[in-house]
Structure formats: C-alpha cells, structure tokens
Amino acid sequence: MSILFYSTIDDPAEWLPRLQAHLPGETIRLWPDIGDPAAVDVAVLWTQPPEGLGALTGLKAVQSLGAGVNQLSLGTVSPAIRVARLVDPGLSDDMAEYCLLATLRYFRRFDLHERAQRVGEWSFRLPQDRAGYEVGIMGLGTLGAAVAARLAANGFPVRGWTRLPREVEGVRCFAGATELDAFLDGLKVVICLLPLTAETTSILNARLFARLDGAYLINVGRGAHLVDDDLVQALEAGRLAGATLDVFHSEPPPADHPFWSHSHILMTPHVASAGDPATATAIVAENIHRAQAGAPMLYEVDRARGY
Ligand code: GLV
C-alpha cells in the first residue's frame, strides 16, 4: 500500500517529512514517482494529477489539500471513493486575517487614499462609524465562521447567509434564496466563502449586485462564483465601490482581462489561505488511518451535495 502526494502549490519539502513522521512505516510517494499505481490507497491532492486517477485501481480515498474540493473535478472520481476537505487551524487563521485586512482597507478608506495619492490629491475624510459598517459573509462553513468571529472581535456587525438555516453566535443569520435580499440590504462589504456547487456558480451576478449600494466585494471562494462582466458593470454603475479578488475563472486570468488594470479592483494570486503543514499533517495522517480502516473520514465530503 502507498500514499500518493501531488500538488502544484504545496511544498513537498514541507509536507512529506512531517507526514512521514505521523505515518511511520507507510510508503509516501511524490508524484510522478507513483510506483505501482494499483498500490496507492490514499491520494493527498490539491488537483488531480495530469493523467487523472483512473490508473489508481486500489484508491480508497482522496484527501484534499484545500478547504474546497471543486478543483479536484470530482465528477470524474468514482462515488465509492471517500473525499475529505482540509480543515486546519492555519488555513482558517489565514483566511480570517485576509478578510479582516481587506475589510479594514475599505473601512479605513485606504483604497481611496491609494487612488488619491496617485493623482496628487489630499482627500481628507472623517472616519466611518464601525457600528454601522455591516459585513455580510456568504457561506458560514469552517472558514466563513472563522472570518465572522474575527470581524466581530474587531467590532464589525456581521451577517451571514447560508443555503440552509444556521445559527452562529454573534452573527445575524439569513438562509436560502428567499432571504438573500434581506441579507444584502445595506451591507457595506460582501464576502464570498461559499463552496462552489451548481447552485452557487455565478451567484455573484448583476441581480445580486443590484441589491447593493456602493458596497465592496471580497471574493475568496472560487472564481466561478463571480460573473466577471457583471462585476465590471456594477463598479461602473456604483452598485459596488470596489472589489478584492483572490480567485479567478482561470488563474492567472488572461493578460487582456479587464480586472488587471481596473482602478477599483485589487487582485491577489489565490493566496488568501493555505494549509499549514505544521498543523495540517496531523489531521491528514488521521484521515489516512481512517480511510485505510474503511472508516468515515474527518470533514468528509457529501458526494451528492458536492462539499
Ligand atoms: C483554497 O482555495 C482552498 O480550497 O483551500
């Protein structure tokens, strides 16, 4: 039996020695040195390797290296194979910090000051009222809840929107399509941390932006949540005042994509959060043990639901 590790973004030099320390006696293989493909029983992956998973005929489980799993193209993975998301304190902390930073940048108007400086303008403005600066988080999973807690700890009133009703302490919760407009009403910042599913693809669209009035968008979910043209139009129309985007339809976006040069869009290259091998390898090792024993994994994906 062997464990396969493949990622285009995670550093194997950080992951493999720690993983091996948690799994003494196990053979851990780094793609493309996969040995006998039929011997691989667990694959630890960010995306599928270029040749897919078809040759891994003994595969029991896939452990995602991301909090999300859509990048694994699970439609091509047999439903009999268990799949687990990565839940890791390092990943949650990174995400909470990124969203707090992006929110504070807007709340303290650094975006306006950056633009004013570039054109030689001294643009004094009084500070804004924090109690009236409501931030809405779409998706209250592990990451959404961590972001909500961090924003609330910094004094921001927080709303949350989820597919099914949910209660999170300190968060005004809204659920489902019928409560989406009420959730959006009056928000200063909208943060997207939804899983990417058929239902949430293109959810950040003109209809949603039309409910906003000069709000800011922070998309740290997936690029496919956003209709790019609708964002550009919403910025032009003033429905949105700016956007911070960490995820894109293709990464990087093509060189002629309008986001690159847009004065009201800040792009970051999918860096909002990453699993920390120092903490995540223990969780991954536990999941490998579970998968090998045929037991349910921690944070296992509901294959029908897609997250
Ligand atoms: C990153 O995008 C992740 O899914 O963790």
53-93 pLDDT, tens per residue?
A: 999 999 999 999 999 999 999 999 999 999 999 999 999 99
| Distance of CA 177 from the midpoint of ligand 1 (Å) | 25
The pLDDT of residue 84 is 98
For ligand 1, atom 5, name the residue with the nearest CA: 66
pLDDT, residue 137, reads 98
User: Which two structure tokens, joined as six digits, stand for 188?
Assistant: 């200063």
**Ligand 1 mean position, distance from CA 199 (Å):** 19
Nearest-CA residue for ligand 1 atom 3 is: 66
Active site residue 18: no
Q: Which residues pair with 243 in a beta bridge?
A: 217, 265
Query: Tens-of-pLDDT digits for all 307 residues of the chain?
Result: 999 999 999 999 999 999 999 999 999 999 999 999 999 999 999 999 999 999 999 999 999 999 999 999 999 999 999 999 999 999 999 999 999 999 999 999 999 999 999 999 999 999 999 999 999 999 999 999 999 999 999 999 999 999 999 999 999 999 999 999 999 999 999 999 999 999 999 999 999 999 999 999 999 999 999 999 999 999 999 999 999 999 999 999 999 999 999 999 999 999 999 999 999 999 999 999 999 999 999 999 999 999 9
Ligand 1 pocket member 67 (CB < 6 A): yes
Residue 270 is among the residues annotated as catalytic for this protein: yes
Report the pLDDT value the prediction gives residue 253, as an integer from 0 to 100.
98
Q: For ligand 1, atom 1, which residue shows the shortest CA distance?
A: 66
> Is the C-beta atom of 160 inside 6 A of ligand 1?
no
Atom of ligand 1 nearest to the CA of 65: 5
- For residue 102, which of 250, 253, 230, 241 has the smallest C-alpha distance? 241
- How many A from CA of 68 to the centre of ligand 1? 5
Angle of helix 89-107 relative to helix 110-118, nearest 10 degrees, comes to: 60
Asked if residues 74 and 306 have their Cβ atoms less than 8 Å apart, the reply is: yes
Mutate to test the pocket of ligand 1, among 7, 10, 71, 276 (most ligand atoms within 8 A of CB): 71
Farthest-apart Cα atoms in the chain, separation: 66
pLDDT computed for residue 26 by the predictor? 97
CA of 238 to the centre of ligand 1 (A): 30
Q: Is 66 in the pocket of ligand 1 (CB under 6 A)?
A: yes
Q: What is the pTM of this model?
A: 0.95
